[in-house]
Structures are given as C-alpha cells and as structure tokens.
Structure 1
C-alpha cells in the first residue's frame, strides 16, 4: 500500500493560505475566526459587513464544495448537547485567554513569524496529540 496524497486537504490548505494572505494584504486584517466572530458580537461601525460576508463565505463554501463533488467529512452523532455546549464554552474561554484560535495563530500568526503564535500553535498541537493518545490508548 503506497502513500496517497490527500488532495482535498492540500487544496483546502492552499485556499486557506491564499484567502488569509489576501485579507491581510488588502485590508490589513488577520483571518482568525474567533476574532472575526467576536467582532460580530461586539460590533464596531464599519467592521460588520466584511465579518458577516466572511462567515457566510465560510459556511457556503462547504455547501458549494459538496455540490461540485467534494466529499464532506462524516458527521458524528452528538451524544450529549450538554457536553457539546461545555466544550464550546471551554474553546471560547481558551481562545480568549490565548488571544486567538488555531486559525489565527496557526495560519496567520505563523505566516507572519509571530513568536506568540508559534508557541500557541505548538501548544495546540501538543494538546491535540496528547488527547488522541489518551483517547486511543487509555480510554
């Protein structure tokens, strides 16, 4: 069995990098999802339209990709909306404490060689690896 290139992931990553670069070049804004969405929760005049369009584009691009033949990931059943809500709350608190999310730090911050983003991304990855290890080997 040979190595297969995950073309969808490769092209998706390229599109993420391109879109983040274009947003930064043409508007000076960072494409961190938590910052974009939090800007909608505390709107600033002149900052709402582009944020709404960004979120609509994020959602509609997945639907468009499915329509033109890309396979979407399997949706797993939710066993407890309570725990999903708690997880979402913890992610929100973590992004506030970490001053950004994986997209902001991992895509945009590392691309700008931000020391804080490099450290944050290393922490994200270490926790993800530990979580998978615990889930696969200890539970």
Structure 2
C-alpha cells in the first residue's frame, strides 16, 4: 500500500530540496520555464557571466533522471510509461506543447516556478496561477478521457 506513493514522495522531497538549495546558494527561483528560456535566449552582455548555472541545472535534471531511473524502478518495482502504447496523436501532442508554452509565457512561469517555489514563498499570484493550472488540467483530463 505505502510503496505506491513512496517514489512520488521521494521525488517531491528531492525537487523541494533542489528548489531550496538553488534559492539559498544562488538566490534564484527554480522555475524551469524561466531557466530554460534564459539558457536558450538570454544574449545580454550582462548575462554572459551568469548563464552557465542554467545549463548546469538543466543538465542535472536530465542526468539525474537517467542515473536514477533504473535504480528507482528496481527499488520500488515500478514500470516506465510505454509512450508508444498511448493513443494520442502527434498533432495533439504538438498543439498541447505549444499551448503549455503559451500558458507559461502568459502566466509568467510554469508549475515548478509557481506551484513549488511561488506557493512556498506565499505569493498570491502563484497560488492563483497554480489553481488555474490544476483546474485546466482536470478539465482537459475529463474532456480527453
């Protein structure tokens, strides 16, 4: 019974720890859309010195997932999602990705920035943004399933 939520609890702990460490050690908020955007498109001369940390952060996300994926599957006896078995067409996935990106731009952040870091800082704007994310996600899941 408990083993079903232990991986999620462990992952949530690590995400929270990473967000706290980035704030304490670097003074930055761990909003993935902002970090990715700054890494890809920030070309101001004043950003040249500080841009490396974004690439390290993004690389750490990818590498930690690759390194920990197999051991955590073995420990918690969970199976990865078979993406090929999903019945979602590529055009729907592309449109969905574009809508998520548009939502991040309009909402000035993503679920990691607002939902984890913003709520942790008691930001009213982040609470509202997270409620909107969750509401739209629930409605989308109901409509498509």
TM-score tier after normalising by the smaller chain length: 0.7 to 0.9
CA distance in 2, matches of 1:4, 1:58: 24
Match of 2:10 in 1: 11
Let me know the Cα RMSD of the aligned residues: 1.9
Post-superposition offset of 1:98:
0.2
Q: Establish whether residue 65 from structure 1 lines up as the match of residue 80 from structure 2.
A: no
CA distance in 2, matches of 1:72, 1:100: 31
Task: Please give the TM-score of this superposition, normalised by the length of structure 1.
Answer: 0.87
Match of 2:35 in 1: 36
Judging by fraction of residues, say which structure has more helix.
2
Post-superposition offset of 1:135:
2.5
Deviations 1:59-86 (A, max 9, x none): 1111111232434631322754333222
CA distance in 2, matches of 1:24, 1:62: 21
Counterpart mapping for 1:16-27 below 5 A: 16-27=15-26
Runs of 5+ in structure 2 lacking a partner? Answer: none
Candidates 37, 44, 48, aligned match of 2:51: 48
Counterpart mapping for 1:114-133 below 5 A: 114-133=123-142
Question: Is contact 1:66–1:72 with CA below 8 Å preserved after alignment?
Answer: no
- Greater alpha carbon shift after TM alignment, 75-84 vs 54-63: 75-84
Runs of 5+ in structure 1 lacking a partner? Answer: none
Post-superposition offset of 1:134:
2.1
Distance 1:23 1:3, change over 3 A: closer
CA distance in 2, matches of 1:115, 1:123: 12
Paired residues in the alignment total: 135
Candidates 100, 104, 107, aligned match of 2:113: 104
Deviations 1:1-34 (A, max 9, x none): x665510000000000010001001111000000
Match of 2:143 in 1: 134
Task: Please give the TM-score of this superposition, normalised by the length of structure 2.
Answer: 0.83
